[in-house]
Amino acid sequence: MEEFHIDAMTPADWPAVRAIYLEGIATGNATFEKSAPDWAAWDAAHLSHSRLIGRAGDEIAGWAALAPVSGRCVYGGVAEVSLYVAERMRGRKIGRQLLAALVEESERQGLWTLQAGIFPENIASVEAHKRCGFRVVGVREKLGRMDGVWRDVMLMERRNTML
């Protein structure tokens, strides 16, 4: 594999990030979303810090970012994980490397809890999260419908180890 490194995401990365997001959407096992937003909407929905891209050579191979779970100040240290890997780069542990770096960055930023909602069928994502210290909190049964089918969502969380 090409040399892999992780950088902060910039607005200039958005076309590649969005393309990877669309590949994840196409799997049917990454998100309930059916389309990717434009940069302005995505930017507004995510924390301004803890936005990472993984590069294999010059190509963006994946990305990870955090979104606030609530606007209430009591939840200011709790964020939800988004993690996506380009289709042709899957199976190379890129997701796990990005997630580990995201965890480190979140702790530097003072966050105390990360959570992830993952379809149980997305085994690679579940395993990457477990390897990065996330635990299964529970399964939210029939949380939403996708293409007329009720889908369960596994709730996973990781507490800041520096607490």
Domain boundaries, the chain: 4-159
Give me 7's structure tokens.
């950088």
8 A C-beta contact, residue 62 and residue 74: no
Taking residues 107-134, report their average pLDDT: 97
4-39 pLDDT tens trace:
999 999 999 999 999 999 999 999 999 999 999 999
Residue pair 76/113 in contact (Cβ under 8 Å)? The answer is no
Helix (H) or strand (E) holding 21: helix 14-27
pLDDT tens digits for range 135-154:
999 999 999 999 999 999 99
Q: By the 8 A CB rule, do 67 and 17 touch?
A: no
Q: Which pLDDT score is estimated for 162?
A: 76
User: In the chain, helix, strand, coil percent, each to 5?
Assistant: 35, 35, 30
- CATH fold for domain 4-159: Aminopeptidase (3.40.630)
pLDDT band, very low/low/confident/very high, at 1 (cuts 50, 70, 90) = low
- Residue 19 Cα to chain centre, angstroms: 15
CB of 85 within 8 A of CB of 37? no
Task: Read off the pTM.
Answer: 0.94
